[in-house]
Amino acid sequence: MQFELTKDFIDRLTDIIDRQDSKAAISILDELHSADIAEIYNELNIEQAKFLFLLLDNEKASDVLAEIEEDDREEFLHALPSEVIASHFLEEMDSDDAADVLGDLPEGKKEEVLSHIKDAEQAGDIADLLSYDEDTAGGLMAKELVSVKEEWDVSLCIEELRKQAEDVDEIYNVYVVDEHDRLKGLLPLKKLIISKPDVKVFSISEEVISVTTDIDSEDVANIMRKYDLVVLPVVDTDGKLVGRITIDDIVDVIQEEAEKDYQMASGIVQDVEYSDNIVTQMRGRLPLLLIGLFGGVLGALVLGYYEGDLIKYAGLALFIPLIMAMAGNVGIQASAIVVQGIASKSMGIVSVFSKLTRELWLAFLIGIICSGLIFAYNIIFSDSIALSLTVSIALFSVIIFTTLLGTVIPLMLNKMKIDPALATGPFITTLNDIIGLLLYLVLGRILLPLF
């Protein structure tokens, strides 16, 4: 039942496309889900994709277009005239998907495509959705929904549902509104089916959770996850029902957020996918590497400044890699825990002070264990007690200090409304490395002459 993309399949398909064999192509496409066809897109060039997609009926074509990755879609639409985009793809599309598609086009083409959409109401809905920020509830919502009035009875609702059902693909609930279209409640389809025809809507309507159009998409995701919602209605500032957000869009938001954080922790500063071209890849990867390079040069300067000590106390240089690795690792760990705590709100309402106390306790334990182990190693394998002590004391200090930094920085960033995940990124890591190195050399200069 599951479709699996194979090299054989693609070879067969491109062969059919090269022969321009519409009949064979259609019979293959008929068997496939739109999500599968979208997956095939990655393996074709634009001309091949164009041939294929124009064979689809409008409904399937619009489903496929909604599933293709943003960058690819932009490129693909570039190769199509505005009339075709409007008639073949957008007219059958849900308003939120249509707005997403249009949002990627250049301003001029956007207007042009909109003017070719025949259904004036749909064109208006799409234009309206385009006015919201992409990363808010308004930017995520679709206009398609079924609403009923509080004072109606069940049979009138069912009649209304019959009328509206054609425009709305997936219906799980109908929304209950008052005479001014203000959202009052929710009516699951199940209740509509099992209730008697003459029951009034307000007597079976349930409480409903909603958001306003300006709520951030991450907050929308948190609300839908927390309350296990499949659909979330969106209201304007007057409480009027203006749209609904479905969970599939939110799953994408969650996935993107997670990927962004993961990439940030891996030192990639821009959304990069494996399939992106070399220029995008470079844009994502180079910034950290340049910061790392700069950090490395700073490191060289610091070491150069302490060159005298490094020559005088042979052995001090040997543990530079150890100190730097530990400084980076300890700092990132502390930051990662805080970043996830902020994201999942599991940090609760304890004060910054108690967070710090706890982290420092942990750092103290970790420091004791790690510097204890290194001390044992050095005592056994090296002949210098002075060096052994210096390395261990420096390691302990570095662990405490970078934990402090790693805890405070994401909290500060969050307070300043900057994404705290930045703290696990390149800049802070490099900072930790250099500070760790400096701390080691300063302590070495102070401690080594003492022994």
Window 190-209: residues binding a copy of itself (CB under 8 A): 190, 192-194, 209
Q: At its nearest, how many Å lie between a copy of itself and the CB of residue 99?
A: 17
Is there a contact between 332 and 425 (Cβ–Cβ < 8 Å)?
A: no
User: How many CB atoms are located within 10 Å of the residue 73 CB?
Assistant: 21
Of 272, 360, 386, 447, the residue at the interface with a copy of itself (CB under 8 A) is: 272
CB of 132 to a copy of itself, least distance (A): 20
Asked if 287 interacts with a copy of itself (CB under 8 A), we say no
The answer to the question of residue 318 lying near a copy of itself (CB under 8 A) is yes
Q: Which of 15, 47, 54, 165 binds a copy of itself (CB under 8 A)?
A: 165
Sheet with 183-188: list strands edge to edge: 147-149, 173-177, 183-188
270 is an interface residue for a copy of itself by CB under 8 A: no
Is there a contact between 231 and 172 (Cβ–Cβ < 8 Å)? yes
96 binds a copy of itself (CB under 8 A): no
Q: From the list 54, 289, 418, 446, which residue makes contact with a copy of itself (rule: CB under 8 A)?
A: 289
Task: Name residues contacting a copy of itself, limited to 400-429 (CB under 8 A).
Answer: 424, 426
**C-alpha pair distances (Å), 294 with each of 58, 162, 286, 302, 319:** 53, 65, 12, 12, 21
The CB-of-181 to a copy of itself minimum distance in angstroms stands at 18
Check residue 273 for interaction with a copy of itself (CB under 8 A). Answer: yes
Residues whose CB falls within 8 Å of the CB of residue 421, separated by 6 or more in sequence, listed in order: 260, 261, 264, 265, 339, 410
- Binding residues for a copy of itself, rule CB under 8 A, total 118
Nearer CB in complex with a copy of itself: 39/111 = 39
CA dihedral 368, 371, 376, 382 (to 10 degrees): -160
Considering the complex, what minimum distance in angstroms separates the CB of residue 107 from a copy of itself?
29
- Report if residue 437 touches a copy of itself, rule: CB under 8 A: yes
CB of 325 to a copy of itself, least distance (A): 5
Surface-to-core class of residue 363, CB atoms within 10 Å of its CB (0-12 exposed, 13-18 middle, 19+ buried) = buried
**Is residue 448 within 8 Å of 309, Cβ to Cβ?**
yes
The nearer residue to a copy of itself, 106 or 372, going by C-beta atoms, is 372
SS3 200: strand
Q: How far is the CB of 139 from a copy of itself (least distance, A)?
A: 18
Q: Which stretch binds a copy of itself (CB under 8 A): 45-53, 85-93, 116-124, 162-170?
A: 162-170
Residues numbered 323 to 382 that lie near a copy of itself (CB under 8 A) are 323-326, 328-330, 332-333, 335-338, 340-341, 344-349, 358, 361-362, 365-366, 369-370, 373-374, 377
Establish if 186 lies at the interface with a copy of itself (CB under 8 A).
Answer: no
Residue ranges in 43-72 that form contacts with a copy of itself under rule CB under 8 A: 43, 69
142: exposed, middle or buried (C-beta count within 10 Å: 0-12, 13-18, 19+)? Answer: buried
CB of 316 vs a copy of itself, minimal distance in Å:
10
Q: Which of 64, 128, 55 is nearest to 90 (CA)?
A: 64
- Kindly indicate which of the ranges 45-53, 110-118, 246-254, 438-446 contains the residues binding a copy of itself, using the contact rule CB under 8 A: 246-254
Of the candidate residues 304, 308, 357, 376, the single one contacting a copy of itself (CB under 8 A): 304
Q: How far is the CB of 438 from a copy of itself (least distance, A)?
A: 11
CA distances to 5, 30, 187, 197 from 177, rounded to whole Å, are: 46, 41, 11, 19
Polymer length in residues for the chain? 451
Binding of residue 230 to a copy of itself (CB under 8 A): yes
Residues 355 and 373: their CA atoms lie apart, in Å, by: 27
User: Is 216 near a copy of itself (CB under 8 A)?
Assistant: no
Q: Cβ(176)–Cβ(187) under 8 Å?
A: yes
Interaction of residue 255 with a copy of itself, rule CB under 8 A: yes
Helices (H) and strands (E) in the chain, counts: 22, 6
Task: Identify which of 384, 378, 390, 374 has the alpha carbon closest to the alpha carbon of residue 446.
Answer: 390
> Is residue 137 at the binding interface for a copy of itself, with CB under 8 A as the rule?
no
